[in-house]
Amino acid sequence: MKKKVLITGASSGIGQAAARLFGANGYALTITGRRIDLLESLNQELSTMPCGPATLLHFDVRNPEDVQANLAGQLFDIAILNAGLARGLGPLHEGEFSDWQEMLDTNVSGLAYTAKYVAAEMVKAQQGHLIFMGSTAAKMAYPNGAVYCASKMAVQGIADAMRLELLPHHVKVSAIHPGMVADTEFSTVRFHGDSERASTVYNGFSALTAADVAEVLYFMATCPPHVNLSDVVLTPAAQADSRMTHRQ
């Protein structure tokens, strides 16, 4: 029987790359996102892979009623809680409330809503694996990203606490913290659609790709039952931490 994998935020970037990799390896996928057209396009690809067509769930993780309606009572072997975003880049005293609210609602509250319903079923089954999408910003704050950094530090805290809570229930909890990933919408979203500005973020060095992160996610998810990669930091070779890169 195929293992069931949930991937949130699968309509683009790392979530999409993870869906392709797990799909190519025959997992039964449930993919979620806010953009149904992109989920349907991805599912056309998945339909030709060993996984077969995925289950599509179209909802916004920021809405707890929608999360409950779509995920309550569903058991997954692996859940990759990937949905998240950044908005704005500037000092906190010049920030926009709407940007902060969107980040906190998605990266923290939405993550917690999703984890609640997924973990409840794993506890009943006494098995499962939750993987949280963090960031190098969870490990070290950087200037002009105060609220984003805080949101990813919260992801770290949720993962660490749930690892303790779920230990007696045989549920693994992992977190992955990627550095700079070039082929996603991260910077375009952060700069409110300014793709020209976003493209300059990765100039001068070889950033990670979404496929690189997906490969590590897959490795984490396929370790033997007695092994858990609890906390993984993944950066390009030219990035030391959330603040320092070496550019040519």
Contact 110, 162 (CB under 8 A): no
Q: What is the Cα–Cα distance from 26 to 99, expressed in whole angstroms?
A: 38
Whole-angstrom distance, CA of residue 98 vs CA of residue 209: 29
Q: Which residues pair with 234 in a beta bridge?
A: 178
**Based on the number of CB atoms within 10 Å of its own CB, is 148 exposed (0-12), middle (13-18) or buried (19 or more)?**
buried
Please pick, among 27, 113, 117, 148, the residue that the annotation labels catalytic.
148
What the block records as the tokens of 114 is 């999703």
Active site residue 202: no
Region for residue 159 given its phi and psi (left: phi exceeds 0; alpha: psi -120 to 50; beta: otherwise): alpha
The catalytic residues are: 148
